Amino acid sequence: MPKPVIICVDDEKVVLDSLSKELELSLGDEFFIEPAESGEEALELIDDLIKQGKEIPVFISDQLMPGMKGDELLKEVYRVSPDTRNILLTGQATMNSVVNAINQAKLYRYIPKPWDATDLKLTVQEAAKSYFLDVKFKKHIAVLERINQSTSALTHEIKVSKLAQALIEEIVNYLQLDKVSILFAPYQANLNKHIVLQNEQYTYPQEPPLPQELIAQAYKEKKTIIESNAIQNPEYKNDPYIQNNKVASFIIFPIIYKNEIIATLYAEKTKKTDYFTNEHFTYLKLLLDQAANMLDNAFLYEGLEQVIHERTQLIEQQNKDIQDSIQYAKRIQSAMMPNIVDIHKFIPNSFIFFSPKDIVSGDFYWALPVGEYFFIAAGDCTGHGVPGAFMSLIGSMLLHNIVSEYKIYDTGRIITELHNSIRKTLQSNPTDEYGVIQDGMDISLCRIHLPTKHIQFSGANHILYIFQNGQIQEHKTDRVPIGGEHEYTFKTYEIQFNPKDALYMFTDGVTDQFGGEEGKKFSRKQFTNLLEDIYAMPAQEQLRYIQKYMSDWRKGNPQTDDMLIIGIIL
């Protein structure tokens, strides 16, 4: 795969050469650095790169240039390549030009000249990282949406041959393939053994011209075979099908249901090498996993499978499938939350006690370093389990966009923007059959100025406990939930921390937990007593103490709700 391209634009050749060489030296192993001396030249370069299918993660431009100014250029870049991260690098940009770039070109960062080499490198690296994460996320969402649409259509087919034809047609259309075939397992002997779509024509040959030995190998070993340039691979020099048809890229994918191969998919892009990507494989895997169940049901409907499944076995299998899906959702949710190791890089003496009620959680924590600031939040979404987890993912992504993309750093404005965004997201379709969605979240958000330990915080229906000079202080935030029906502007609060001061954010799952000798709720008073006992300890000792204390408190009672406590000792 070709290296992605970073474009630098400046009308001063000395500056452009210096910028290009500096980026080449620090990032040349990962990116091509392409210079341009004018906006017009840069747009021609982008057009050529897009036609070649090359990625442009970062675009860096000066502001004051003859002809097209930097903010005007970035606006055009955003129009033709909206995912590219735009950076304005200049010593003479007016505030108006910067604002224009932010509003019209989704400006990622403004860096003044002369630039700091380390800051420049880190900014470009983070911009590229943001670009690739965004592109990957969009591709994943697109694949999931496509799978959802296609499986919804396939569920209406109950005849095996019709279902197989619809499945083949979906794969051909989405992946733009030259040939796709489904070969049914030997025990479906009274079916048409093969269904092939090529040149928009279906055929049902008894022995279709395919690489039969490879298909037999994939069937026997229950493994997927992917080839990027078969005609040049010496392993296939004696395969008559590959040699006669000059096959470049193919994939053989067993369709497995309950550990039995019920069919095999053969897909081919005849004359194009290196065709099948990771996204293609993910799409096929998800689609064929769904199709396997549908084909099995179709076999049962047509009386082709005589295996009798006990109801309990079916329920167990269905429950396992659900649990597997939820476990995968947990992996996604965990990947979205920050790693505590990364948090410790900025706040070494801190801890996170996180205990979901179910496999996935409606509680979530979020953190992001931005310059000298470190943002950290504790959220409690409506519900728990899968519904709460979906809301937590929405909250995390919106917070990241508000701070990282929109450059909003005041905590009250961040919470207000989060409130408005969730209202807009969840109430955008008032005609939905279920009515307007009322779900939302409670949250507390802190912004820590690392050099001075000055803290700014805001929240929705949350309380923060702060210890200063050994005394506990209760700080209530606005008593309005995120995502409610009405507009609201959240307040910003500020406090100066001193050495050994401590701050705690938490969700109500902690204080609502039943336990103890009398099976009562773990009240807020008990929680503050617990904090008073531990606030002077090192963070990791506090975490161990809380883990044991809450485990002892439950005394076998089921967990009532998700629980989250964030402790910060500055």
Beta bridge partners of residue 202, listed in sequence order: 197
Answer yes or no: are the C-beta atoms of 83 and 133 closer than 8 Å. Answer: no
Q: Do 18 and 60 contact (CB within 8 A), yes or no? A: no
CA 205 from centre of chain: 43
* Residue/partner pairs of 173-178 with CB below 8 Å, 24 or more apart: 174/146, 174/150, 174/283, 175/267, 175/280, 175/283, 176/269, 177/267, 177/268, 177/269, 178/268, 178/269, 178/270, 178/271
Compute the distance between CA of residue 42 and CA of residue 10 in angstroms, rounded to an integer.
Answer: 10
| pLDDT at res. 434 | 46
> Which of 286, 251, 249 has its CA nearest to residue 140?
286
Whether 485 contacts 437, CB under 8 Å: no
Q: Are 248 and 230 in contact (CB under 8 A)?
A: yes
180 forms beta bridges with: 197, 267
- pLDDT given at position 308: 42
Neighbours of 83 (CB within 10 A): 15
Q: Is 567 helix (H, G, I), strand (E, B) or coil?
A: strand
What one-letter code names the amino acid at 257?
Y
Residue 304: per-residue pLDDT = 43
What is residue 544's predicted lDDT score, i.e. its pLDDT? Answer: 96
Separation of alpha carbons 114 and 237, rounded Å: 60
For 424, list phi and psi in degrees, rounded to 5: -65, -40
Residue with tokens 């998700």: 562
Contact by Cβ (8 Å): 19, 8: yes
Does the CA dihedral 106-485-415-388 come out positive or negative? negative
CATH code, 329-569: 3.60.40.10
Q: What is the helix (H) or strand (E) element at residue 257, kind and residue range?
A: strand 249-257
Q: Give the class (CATH, top level) of 5-128.
A: alpha beta
Q: How many CB atoms lie within 10 A of CB 22?
A: 16
The CA-atom distances, in angstroms, between 183 and each of 210, 242, 397, 469 are 10, 18, 42, 75
- pLDDT for 297 equals 81
Q: Which residue's entry shows tokens 């161990």?
A: 544
pLDDT for 431 equals: 47
What is the signed CA dihedral for 285, 291, 296, 302, rounded to 10 degrees? -150
Give the C-alpha distances (Å, rounded to integers) separating 396 from 190, 379, 564: 53, 9, 15
Where do the structural domains in the chain lie, given as residue ranges? 5-128, 155-307, 329-569
Q: Is 108 helix (H, G, I), strand (E, B) or coil?
A: strand
318-326: which pairs have CB atoms within 8 A and are 24 or more residues apart?
323/359, 326/358, 326/359, 326/360, 326/386
Rounded Cα–Cα distance for residues 413 and 411 (Å): 5
How many angstroms from the chain centroid is the CA of residue 479? 31
Q: pLDDT 10s per residue in the chain (570 long)? A: 678 999 999 999 999 999 999 999 988 889 999 999 999 999 999 999 999 989 999 999 988 888 888 888 998 999 999 999 999 887 665 566 667 666 777 888 888 888 888 888 999 999 999 998 888 888 777 777 777 777 777 777 777 778 888 888 888 888 888 888 888 765 444 444 456 666 666 666 666 678 888 888 888 888 999 989 988 899 888 888 888 889 999 999 998 888 888 888 898 898 899 999 888 888 888 888 888 888 888 777 766 444 443 456 776 777 776 666 667 666 776 777 889 999 999 999 999 999 998 888 889 999 999 999 999 999 998 765 677 778 888 889 999 999 999 999 999 999 999 999 988 877 645 545 544 445 689 999 999 999 999 999 999 999 999 999 889 999 999 999 998 778 999 999 999 999 889 999 999 999 999 998 888 899 899 999 999 999 999 999 999 999 999 999 988 889 988 999 999 998
CB 398, CB 421: distance < 8 Å:
yes
Closest CA to 542 of 510, 566, 518: 566
Q: What is the pLDDT of residue 436?
A: 46
Q: What is the pLDDT of residue 442?
A: 94
Domains 155-307 and 329-569 share a fold: no
| Tokens 């499978």, residue located | 305
3-class SS at 426?
helix
Checking 143-148 for CB contacts under 8 A at 24+ apart, the result is 143/279, 143/282, 143/283, 143/286, 144/286, 146/174, 146/283, 147/283, 147/286, 147/287, 147/290
Q: pLDDT at position 325, please?
A: 66
Task: Find out if CATH 3.30.450.40 is the number for domain 155-307.
Answer: yes
Q: Which residues contact 334 (CB under 8 A, 6 or more apart)?
A: none
